[in-house]
Chains A and B, each alone.
Chain A
Amino acid sequence: MAQNSRKPGYELVKGFFKENPVLVQLLGICSVLAVSNTVVNSISMGVSVLFVLFFSSLVIGLIKDLIPNEVRIPAYIVVIATFVTVADLFLKAKFPDISKALGAYIPLIVVNCIILARQEAFTKKNKLLPSILDAIGMGTGYIITILLMGIIREILGFGSIFGVKIFGSWFKPILVMILPPGAFLTLAMLIGFMNFITRKSEEKKL
């Protein structure tokens, strides 16, 4: 599996489903569970992660040859933390409501395993362009997953989507979906579903 020989297009799309960071690699679960109770929160968190992932991969891709191997992890974390703080301040300044809703979880992107893991597993060993494509792909995969969670949980838990009620008064929201247990159960089902599909397609190949 020589990663360098793969087509750039593949680096981009692999993160969407096949190597989805959350559903397949089980990275960054913490934030997916925490802020996916509404669609708006999901999108904001997803975009923030994509932003941080993109710029971290860009900067680390540029300077990786200058960093001695022994201190690479602290160096990566500083770069990531910088962009996370930038994103945090930006949201506070321009989108105070979203910043309030996401609360403590924006700063925690810094320890979101997706970002550090991609630097370790990919950016470190690859050229700049594939690294950036990988970052965009993984970020998008993260957005897809968290958005899916947000849609499911908001519809079932609030009976609304984007804050707009979509059912009549007959619908009693399933409160637990927006509470922590609902987050665990929804993600478990999504990962299970993903496993199911992967297994089926592998069986077909055989």
Chain B
Amino acid sequence: MKNEFRMVIVLTLIITIAGCLLAYTYVSTQDDIQRNLENSMRTALLSVVEGVESYENIALDEKTSVLKAKDSNGNVIGYGVMITGGGFQGDIKLMVGFDKDASAVLGIEVLENVETPGLGNRIIEDWFKKQFEGAIPPIEVLKGQKPQNRSQIEAITGATISSKSVANIVNNAHKALETYLGSGGGGESAGRGEEEILEYFEKRWPEKRLIKKGTYYVINDKSGQSISYGIFSEGVEGGDTVKIFMTVSKNFSKIEDIVIMNGSEVSVDKEKLDELQKRLIGESLPLSSSNVEVVTGATIIEDGVVSAVNKGFEALKKELK
């Protein structure tokens, strides 16, 4: 009995000490490990998007994150998508650079791979990675043929699967980025936008109901009485498109609510957008740039928003007359 007691005590003691030692090591190495991750991410981003001064990292899920690459003025100049996908032997982790329209690939960098050395592993060679520069997704892999257009690349001889895997991951990165930006191209995007807006509205004012009428919306209260109108609109300023959804009071006098949407190519951060949205609520229509108080650091987008609001206002008036 005494011996068994000793067994338990000794083991517990050893495990406790070991646990403490490990916890200490873990805590003291975390900073470095985190920094290494940051560094490898930054280096990869710099090599796929030119002229990056700063970036913002948005994790989409465990395997994908979007990095908004910005120049020294804080304007978005492109995106990096860090994404993990399946290869021939195991996972491949890529940094894929996209231009700011998310339409073409700027370049790719292989962060991690366990492909066969000398064969699949050649995905890290420059000539292979260079093929992706300027490529337009979805990218197709050709076997033993020279690419004919900017959506085709040539497979590595003897490593078709690894080559296809990389192209596949790049295509997935593109899809993820488009979903994130909410601009799936053409009609699809409007659909997504609408859904988001509907959801937003349900959450914000559970008692109100949006009913689609052609290009605009009628907003009813819970008794079915129409109380205001809503419309999607776009404005362009300084080459940037700004998408909004706004609701206007029944007498067309003022903005009741406004949402500046995902997919707008805006280069200001979320807080400033929120501030801008708040200020616009209750403003009388039509807007003029001068009667909107300027939010510091958001001048350009403000002009875009103002033009979007006025365009939407005009469209709404035309529809209802």
Contact = CB atoms under 8 A, between A and B. Distances in A.
The answer to whether A and B touch in the complex, with CB atoms under 8 Å apart, is: yes
Nearest to A66: B10
B271 interface: no
Given A68-B3, A75-B14, A78-B18, A90 B25 contact: yes
Contacts of A67: 10, 14
Interface string B34-76: 0010001000000000000000000000000000000000000
A96 B10 CA distance: 36
Interface stretch (A20-28, A141-149, A171-179, A188-196): A171-179
A37 B117 CA distance: 10
B29 A100 contact: no
B87 to A, nearest CB: 14
A89 B119 contact: no
A89 B26 contact: yes
A157 to B, nearest CB: 8
Contacts of B15: 78
Contact of B11 (A75, A90, A157): A75
Interface string A75-116: 100110110011001101110100010010000000000000
A70 interface: yes
Best-surrounded residue of A96, A158, A173 (most CB of chain B within 10 A): A96
A168 interface: no
B10 A89 contact: no
Interface residues of A, number: 29
A179 B40 CA distance: 27
Contacts, number: 65
B1 interface: no
B10 A71 contact: yes
Contacts of A37: 117
B84 to A, nearest CB: 14
A140 to B, nearest CB: 25
A93 B25 CA distance: 10
A103 B29 CA distance: 18
A82 B20 CA distance: 10
B117 A81 contact: no
Interface of B: 3, 6-7, 10-11, 14-15, 18, 21-22, 25-26, 29, 32-33, 36, 40, 112, 114, 116-119
26 contacts: A67-B14, A68-B3, A68-B6, A70-B7, A71-B10, A71-B11, A74-B11, A75-B14, A79-B18, A81-B18, A85-B22, A89-B25, A89-B26, A89-B29, A90-B25, A92-B33, A92-B36, A93-B33, A94-B32, A96-B40, A100-B112, A157-B118, A158-B118, A178-B118, A179-B116, A179-B117
